[in-house]
Amino acid sequence: MWLALVGPNLLTILAMLVLLIGVPVFVVVVLAVVSGYIRYDAEQRLAALEEDADEESAGGAETAGEPTDEDR
């Protein structure tokens, strides 16, 4: 009910401040979360690829004549 006591000009100013400050802050937070997830996912995939490469290089001499799963 306190909104009825506030003048329409003050409500307009408050709404503009929310739009000018709140919306950009929300966009920046969303971009930060998305970029953090992308970075985390990229690190996980890179670690998995490096692990696979290490396994292939370590076992490469033992299975040199056998076709890999990609060759089949």
| pLDDT tens column, 8-38 | 888 899 999 999 999 999 999 999 999 999 9
| Alpha-carbon span 30 to 38, nearest angstrom | 12
pTM: 0.58
| Alpha-carbon span 70 to 60, nearest angstrom | 14
Start-to-end Cα distance in the chain: 73
Instruction: Work out the pLDDT band at 4, boundaries 50, 70, 90.
Output: confident
Amino acid type, 18: V
